[in-house]
């Protein structure tokens, strides 16, 4: 983990990939519990992006009396009316990428 990425606050801009990748604005942070991001547009200014708007939420939930932790990842996409095709194209791609990301997190967590 990179120390410079471990302290985010509401309003910060986060890029999931380098370059011109879409950016997200940190909407909510609850240390060791939750992180909520909202799409911020390609400029990285943190201003809300034009539709569609994406929210991405990570929540850590203790299980087994705190001996283990479950990671819940949720993503919501709102789109303008009439863009049903957009959702049908984006959701399967997003699901595949998210599954690979969560598996990678699990592998790193289990290695210690």
Q: What residue has token string 């929540």? A: 59
HSE-up (13 A, CA, CB side) for residue 61: 9
Domain residue ranges in the chain: 3-111
49 pLDDT band, cuts 50/70/90, is very low
Q: Is the model more confident about 97 or about 48?
A: 97
pLDDT more than 90, % of the chain:
20
pLDDT of residue 27: 93
pTM (predicted TM-score): 0.71
Strands of the sheet containing 23-30, edge to edge, are 13-14, 23-30, 34-41, 53-63, 68-78
Radius of gyration of the chain (CA): 15
Instruction: Spell out the alpha helix ranges (H) of the chain.
Output: 84-111
* Residue 7 predicted with pLDDT over 50: yes
pLDDT of residue 108: 83
């Amino acid at each position: 983990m990179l120390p410079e990425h471990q302290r985010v606050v509401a309003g910060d801009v986060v890029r999931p990939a380098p370059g011109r990748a879409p950016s997200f604005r940190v909407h909510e942070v609850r240390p060791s519990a939750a992180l909520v991001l909202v799409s911020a547009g390609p400029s990285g200014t943190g201003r809300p992006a034009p539709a569609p708007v994406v929210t991405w939420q990570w929540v850590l939930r203790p299980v087994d009396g705190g001996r283990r932790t479950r990671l819940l990842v949720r993503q919501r996409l709102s789109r303008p009316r009439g863009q049903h095709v957009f959702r049908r194209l984006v959701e399967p791609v997003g699901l595949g990428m998210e599954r690979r990301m969560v598996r990678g997190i699990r592998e790193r967590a289990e290695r210690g």
